[in-house]
Amino acid sequence: MPAGRPPHGEASRRERPRSVKFYLPSLVPFLKWWPRVGLDSLRADALAGLTGAAIVLPQGVAFATIAGLPPEYGVYTAMVTGLIAALFGSSMVMVSGPATAISVIVYATLAPLAEPGTERFVSLALMMTVMVGVIQIVAALARLGIMVSFISHSVMIGFTAAAALLIAVSQIPEALGVAVERGGTVIDRLARIAGVLDDANAYAIAIALVTLMTVAVLQEISRRIPGFLIALLAGSLLGLALDADLHGVRMVGALPAALPVPTFPGFSLGDLSLLAEGAFAVALIGLLEALSIGRAMAIRRHERFDAGQEIFGQGLSNLIGGFFQCYVGSGSFTRTGINWEVGAQTPLAAIFSSIFLAVIMLAILPLIAHIPIPAIAGLIFYVAYRLIDRREIRHILTSSRSETAILLITFLAGLLVELNFSIYVGVIASLVVFLYATSQPVLGVGAPKLVDGRRKFVNARENNLPECPQITIIRLNGTLYFGSVEHVERELRRIEREHPQQRIKVLILKGVDDLDLSGADLLIDEIRNARAKGGDFLMVAAYTPLIERMHRQHVLEELGEENLHLNKGTAIEHAVQMADNEICRSCRVRIFHECAGKPGARAALRDLGY
């Protein structure tokens, strides 16, 4: 049996086709975090839930309006999808519900099919929500949660920073008390705001500043203080004292006092085909947004994040939500940021938020109508500021040029193009950096050196070590595949030019764990090239799957299984035996202890003073 080859039975078992397995999400994921619930966490989650309910009410109204739906549908979406996603998702602090990007896409998809706000439009929106839920659940079962693995840490930091600035800029008109067209990049929004600065409302600015300063000071004093609620109350009381509503400051306004009721969307094959393309787009963007937020928060809180479970939770929340007067929901950066900033500990915070939102809708809805919109903008400014991880940005900027490029590309794409598009750009940039890195594996010529009495092979040039005149020891660290073949071949030619007399090559593949056809063809060419020049080629590989791959791709057939070795010692012993005795007779280098058996060894030792 050749060196390094596994038994035939083992190879057969490994090559046997594997059955396709689907991801099975937990139907009771809340049992995993429930043991963490205690009196302190209950208190923190209840406060976070109450704050989130007060914030999401006006936001839900605004988002539903953007989507072309009656305002209460935004509140229903926050109430139902937030509850289901918290129970069946994976993130400990993410809050789901209506989102800006999804609201815009829903409107763009449905507006050509029905008049916004009409019964037909609402019916199509609910149908799309159910379709999105089904698509996302199928994505969870198909293990598409792996897509989050392609969203690197630098992408998340850049995406979060861009989202924070976009959130802050989107609230400037509310804080100024002016009306501008929504949507567009940060530059577009700032340009529109600059055109209406003369119309800024001093009362609105005062309310926003007081709210912002109050929450900033209270959060600096202690996170245990309900700073967001106190700040919202301070802004509301200032608005009341100034008669702000009489001076043009917008208030949340009255909402219908009702809870969502079961509703069966009217399905038809014709409508399904009309909505299919939009539903796939919304499902994908919703998942990317939720996974991005969930992973960003998990990194920040040093927690585990199960992308597959989160996809299932998002899909289930939309599937159920479509039957309870909800349009498509996803993770919300703003509300998640507030939830985390206020001190939420478990998904109970999002559950409490849904419960409190229902209570508000039934009990104290008239009071909510008098909350000034600029006060909410002040709170969101603070959240946006806190979302930017300045320490981590500084760390990336000072530690890695490639990661810095990924961060900046993602950040600028989020600001200058579109926030959700920045995820695609960041992932592509990460893959480009990864492919470039893997396409440049390191090849070095080694020589033995005594370290603590043991022979170790180190880089000959870096350590200024002599080399054998007949044998080249080459170590390959990296991946040998189609993307790296050109670089590896170029490096091998360089080594060949620098060592023209060394006809016997020993290639150490201990840094290689896989091999594709292009890599196999390169090895076969190098074996033939070495032998055509009167030398030979040996390889060192101990990784069994790599050896099996070389066997299947006919590398070992070309090499000769006697020239494959599991370790450097046996490979060098073999290479020394192959070395030309006449050259060895006059050699005074003798860098291998295996050279002791070659002609001229005594003379070499005498010349060296032994």
Question: How is residue 459 annotated by DSSP?
Answer: E
What tokens were used for 372? 């000034």
Rounded to whole angstroms, how far apart are CA atoms 550 and 521?
10
Is residue 295 within 8 Å of residue 430, measured between CB atoms? no
Mean pLDDT of 376-396: 86
Between helices 333-342 and 373-387, what is the axis angle to 10°? 80
Question: How is residue 118 annotated by DSSP?
Answer: S
- 441-607 maps to which CATH number? 3.30.750.24
pLDDT score at 287 = 86
Is residue 90 within 8 Å of residue 72, measured between CB atoms? no
* Residue whose token pair is 């593949």: 509
Q: What DSSP element (H or E) covers 294?
A: helix 269-301
Does residue 94 carry a pLDDT above 80? yes
* Residue whose token pair is 């596994």: 6
Strands 504-511 and 564-565: unpaired
- Which letter, b or e, does each residue of 308-333 get, where b requires 16 or more Cβ atoms within 10 Å of its Cβ? bbbbbbbbbbbbbbbbbbbbbbbbbb
pLDDT score at 524 = 95
pLDDT tens-digit map of 487-534:
999 999 999 998 888 999 999 987 787 789 999 999 999 999 999 999
Is residue 573 within 8 Å of residue 594, measured between CB atoms? yes
Q: What are the C-alpha distances in Å from 89 to residues 249, 309, 357, 396, 500?
A: 38, 6, 20, 30, 62
pLDDT score at 52 = 87
Rounded to whole angstroms, how far apart are CA atoms 233 and 360?
16
Is residue 536 within 8 Å of residue 566, measured between CB atoms? no
pLDDT tens-digit map of 302-315:
888 888 899 999 99
pLDDT tens-digit map of 102-146:
887 788 788 888 888 888 999 999 999 999 999 999 988 888 767
pLDDT tens-digit map of 18-60:
444 566 777 888 888 888 888 988 999 999 999 888 888 777 8
- The residue count of the chain comes to 610
Q: In what order do the strands lie in the sheet with 564-565?
A: 454-459, 442-451, 471-477, 504-511, 536-540, 564-565
Q: What are the C-alpha distances in Å from 154 to residues 299, 337, 390, 396, 407?
A: 11, 19, 12, 8, 5
Average pLDDT, the chain: 85
Q: Write down the H helix ranges in 302-400.
A: 307-321, 333-342, 348-362, 365-368, 373-387, 390-399
Does residue 10 carry a pLDDT above 70? no
What's the one-letter identity of residue 533? K
Give the 3-state secondary structure of residue 482.
coil
Q: What are the structural domain ranges in the chain? A: 38-432, 441-607
Is residue 546 within 8 Å of residue 512, measured between CB atoms? yes
